[in-house]
């Protein structure tokens, strides 16, 4: 697929602080791409540069092969769904959606046809005359989407469009957005800090941290082959351990040498090792490669989430079989469940699960939503 | 409980609004001896010309205030918060000086042998023209136009600008299509707050009109000064009705529920 948008060395400073540090990224036509990263990593800034609301200090921005840094927002074929909707309170639902077409002075008949079409798509038929300020959050969001899509932009920018909605509505809207994207064939650039949302909706995920791109890839790539400790920690649950690559396909961590599938590191190169909680098998102590003591067990519906203390490092393991707290168990890890990463600036920043509790998890989730 | 809490408010309202109104109405419909009469009201016809002139000047002053005030308010509202405070303070600064004194100083500036003519070495005759009176009204009442509009624009969600330009509005059409309609309530207050004092002013026309023409405010003042309380009250009464009607019309426009003029 053709490259629709290309960012080359995009750098942006605010008050002398680098918010984006030489971002290189291309976005293909018709793809659903997600910028994912923690608060303050520069996602919104990137989006605003593409939308034309902010100008980079250095670097180039191409749209369809043309440099557009100096093209004002209103001339770009890019529309935005704002996080707080930004609907026009003086206009009703119909007029909000019709806004872009009225600017183009299209005939009334075409406007009304296209507005109806849009309202049908976002399931708001019958709301035409309603005042937008009386709508619920989800309804306002739909109006915002219809308003942005009616002029058939090449690209739709969405900045945490579901951030203000409750969980159930968010899930519904995720599906709806994905369907709309596939039906219209419009390129979506989506910003979120919710990794689940990113994994389930995107064709491509761009993981950002500290104003830099950490990894670009498909959801499976990002999940299965995180490039560094930051990505591994940010996407899903992971046990991240210090290891040493003894030679190709042999790695030593947790005082044990494992067979793995990765290679291409120097002899005895220190590495970060990722083992996903669902990839560890619980076995009797004698059959285990590692052994440890279960310190906590939490029922999660589909599986149990257990924390296992192995020589002081707390592992998280997901298992479908019940394990009693305080039990001694063995762990078995398949070679392809071990993922090796080069050491990075993020190495050692993510500890084990010793301070882990559900309560804390929820608290930090709530923080993240804000 | 609630009515008890509201009591002081009602006392004030009665004392300073209702009682004076009743007094005005009483004098309007009585003669010197206190007997009921409609003569005062019937006599209002004599002042039609003055009424019309007052409306004309007040309208022009209001329009000029709006044309100057809206862009000014807009520009101030788009500054950084610190600068906004600074500009608003500048705007308010003249208001700390008594209106009468400010009008006097305008006189000193615009007089035939005044500051302006001396400075330029010219012989412009300004005092005594409609232009001078209108200028005086604009100068004195401009802050009343700017402040409500500024307040209204500065409360508009900053994303409105981005949303509008995102959907294809040029910088000018952002203002026309979105910001202007959203600042309508400020505009209505501004217009009311300039029009009402302009139409009832007397000292501006006295000082800057140079005695060449009389506005309704002057007439009222003259009636009271010459102790013709009943005629004065009747004219005031008519003015009040006029102003009430204009405010009522204005409010028709500003009420978002009835927002007929908003497309
Ligand atoms: N207009 C601005 N002036 C000064 N600093 C800014 C401005 N906009 C953003 N920043 C700073 O730039 C950094 C990145 O901001 P940005 O909004 O792009 O982050 P984000 O990834 O969208 O975060 P979040 O998930 O919290 O929305 C932050 O440290 C922020 O404080
Ligand atoms: Mg953001």
- Chain B residues close to A95, C-beta within 8 Å: 263
Strand order in the sheet with A304-310: A280-283, A328-333, A290-299, A304-310, A313-319
Measured distance CA(A77)–CA(B63) in Å, rounded: 39
CA distance B35 to chain A (A): 53
- Chain B residues close to A81, C-beta within 8 Å: none
Whether chain A has a CB inside 8 Å of the CB on B170: the answer is yes
Measured distance CA(A106)–CA(A7) in Å, rounded: 34
Q: Is the pLDDT of residue A366 over 60?
A: no
Q: How far is the CA of A20 from the centre of ligand 1 (A)?
A: 10
CATH 3.40.50.300 is held by the domain B46-258? no
A72-120 pLDDT per residue, tens: 999 999 999 988 889 999 999 999 999 999 999 999 999 999 999 999 9
Q: How far apart are the first and last CA of chain A?
A: 36
| Contact residues for A229 (Cβ-Cβ < 8 A; gap 6+) | A240, A272, A274, A341, A344, A346, A347, A348, A349, A350
| Contact residues for A56 (Cβ-Cβ < 8 A; gap 6+) | A10, A11, A12, A20, A49, A69
pLDDT grade for A357, boundaries at 50, 70 and 90:
low
pLDDT for position B3:
59
Q: Whose CA is nearest to atom 16 of ligand 1?
A: A42
B35 or B76: whose pLDDT is higher?
B76
Ligand 1 site residues (CB inside 6 A) read A 14-15, 19, 37, 39-45, 193
Q: Is the pLDDT of residue B40 over 90?
A: no
pLDDT for position A369:
40
Residues facing B173 on adjacent strands: none
Q: What is the mean predicted confidence (pLDDT) over A62-66? A: 94
Q: What is the mean predicted confidence (pLDDT) over B191-203? A: 91
- Chain B residues close to A154, C-beta within 8 Å: none
For chain B, the domains span 1-37, 46-258
pLDDT for position B97:
86
Range in A102-116, A155-169, B168-182 the model is least confident about: A155-169
Domains contained in chain A, CATH given = 3-223 (3.40.50.300), 238-365 (2.40.50.140)
A203-222 pLDDT per residue, tens: 999 999 999 999 999 999 99
Range in A107-116, A311-320, B92-101, B145-154 the model is least confident about: B92-101
Integer angstrom CA distances of residue A282 from A307, A317, A324: 12, 8, 12
Nearest by Cα to A182 from A205, A167, A202: A202
User: Who among B162, B177, B184 is closest to A53 (CB)?
Assistant: B162
Nearest by Cα to A208 from A32, A16, A44, A17: A44
Q: Interface pTM (ipTM) of the complex? A: 0.81
Contact between chains at A80 and B259 (C-beta distance less than 8 A)? no
Question: Model's pTM, two decimal places?
Answer: 0.83
pLDDT grade for B100, boundaries at 50, 70 and 90:
confident
CB-count exposure of residue A166 (10 Å: 0-12, 13-18, 19+)? exposed
Q: Is the pLDDT of residue A271 over 60?
A: yes
Strand order in the sheet with A155-159: A78-81, A155-159, A187-192, A32-36, A204-209, A212-217
Measured distance CA(B175)–CA(B194) in Å, rounded: 23
Q: B63: which 2 tokens? A: 């329009």
Q: Is the pLDDT of residue A303 over 70?
A: yes
Phi, psi for A93 (deg, rounded to 5): -55, -50
- Provide the percentage of residues in chain B whose pLDDT is more than 90: 45
Whether chain A has a CB inside 8 Å of the CB on B167: the answer is yes
CB-count exposure of residue A184 (10 Å: 0-12, 13-18, 19+)? middle
Measured distance CA(A350)–CA(A348) in Å, rounded: 5
pLDDT grade for A351, boundaries at 50, 70 and 90:
confident
Q: A214: which 2 tokens? A: 């950490």
Q: What is the mean predicted confidence (pLDDT) over A235-264? A: 91
Query: Is the distance from CB of A43 to CB of A157 less than 8 angstroms?
Result: no
């Amino acid at each position: 697929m053709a490259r629709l948008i290309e960012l080359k060395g995009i750098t942006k400073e605010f008050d002398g602080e680098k918010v984006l540090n030489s971002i290189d990224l291309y976005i293909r036509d018709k793809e659903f791409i997600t910028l994912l990263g923690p608060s303050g990593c520069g996602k919104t800034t990137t989006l605003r540069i593409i939308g034309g609301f902010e100008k980079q200090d250095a670097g180039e921005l191409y749209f369809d092969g043309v440099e557009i840094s100096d093209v004002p927002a209103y001339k770009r074929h890019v529309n935005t769904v704002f996080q707080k909707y930004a609907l026009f309170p003086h206009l009703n639902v119909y007029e909000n959606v019709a806004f872009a077409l009225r600017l183009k002075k299209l005939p009334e008949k075409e406007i009304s046809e296209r507005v109806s079409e849009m309202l049908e798509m976002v399931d708001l038929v019958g709301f035409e005359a309603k005042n937008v300020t009386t709508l619920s959050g989800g309804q306002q969001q739909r109006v915002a989407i219809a308003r942005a899509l009616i002029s058939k932009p090449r690209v739709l920018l969405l900045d945490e469009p579901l951030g203000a909605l409750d969980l159930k509505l968010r899930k519904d809207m995720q599906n709806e957005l994905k369907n709309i994207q596939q039906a219209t064939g419009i390129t979506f650039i989506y910003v979120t800090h919710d990794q689940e949302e990113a994994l389930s909706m995107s064709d491509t995920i761009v993981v950002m941290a500290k104003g830099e791109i950490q990894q670009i890839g498909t959801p499976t790539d990002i999940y299965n082959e995180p490039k560094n400790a930051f990505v591994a920690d940010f996407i899903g649950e992971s046990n991240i351990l210090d290891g040493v690559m003894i030679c190709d396909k042999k790695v030593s961590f947790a005082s044990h040498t494992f067979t793995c599938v990765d290679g291409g590191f120097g002899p005895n190169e220190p590495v970060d090792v990722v083992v996903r909680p669902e990839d560890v098998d619980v076995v009797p102590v004698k059959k285990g490669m590692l052994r440890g003591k279960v310190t906590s067990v939490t029922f999660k519906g589909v599986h149990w989430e257990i924390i296992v203390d192995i020589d002081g490092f707390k592992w998280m393991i997901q298992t479908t079989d019940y394990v009693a707290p305080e039990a001694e168990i063995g762990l078995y890890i398949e070679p392809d469940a071990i993922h090796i990463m080069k050491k990075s600036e993020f190495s050692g920043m993510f500890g084990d699960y010793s301070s882990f509790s559900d309560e804390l998890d929820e608290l930090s989730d709530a923080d993240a939503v804000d | 409980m609630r009515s008890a809490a509201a009591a002081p408010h009602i006392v004030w309202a009665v004392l300073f609004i209702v009682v004076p109104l009743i007094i005005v109405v009483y004098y309007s419909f009585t003669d010197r001896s206190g007997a009921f009469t409609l003569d005062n009201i019937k006599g209002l016809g004599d002042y039609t010309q003055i009424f019309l002139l007052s409306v004309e000047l007040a309208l022009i002053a209001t329009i000029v205030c709006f044309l100057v005030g809206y862009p000014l308010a807009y520009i101030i509202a788009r500054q950084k918060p610190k600068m906004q405070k600074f500009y608003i303070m500048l705007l308010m600064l003249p208001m700390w000086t008594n209106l009468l004194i400010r009008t006097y100083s305008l006189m000193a500036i615009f007089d035939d042998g005044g500051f302006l003519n001396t400075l330029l070495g010219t012989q412009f005759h300004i005092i005594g023209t409609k232009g001078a009176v209108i200028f005086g009204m604009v100068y004195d009442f401009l802050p009343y136009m700017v402040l409500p509009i500024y307040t209204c624009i500065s409360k508009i969600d900053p994303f409105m600008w981005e949303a509008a330009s995102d959907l294809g509005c040029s910088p000018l059409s952002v203002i026309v299509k979105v910001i202007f309609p959203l600042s309508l309530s400020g505009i209505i207050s501004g217009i009311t707050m300039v029009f009402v004092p302009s139409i009832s002013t007397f000292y501006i026309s006295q000082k800057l009109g140079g005695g060449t023409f009389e506005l309704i405010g002057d007439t009222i003042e003259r009636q009271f000064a010459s102790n013709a309380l009943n005629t004065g009250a009747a004219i005031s009464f008519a003015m009040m009705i006029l102003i009430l009607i204009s405010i009522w019309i204005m409010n028709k426009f500003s009420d978002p529920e009835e927002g007929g003029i908003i497309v």
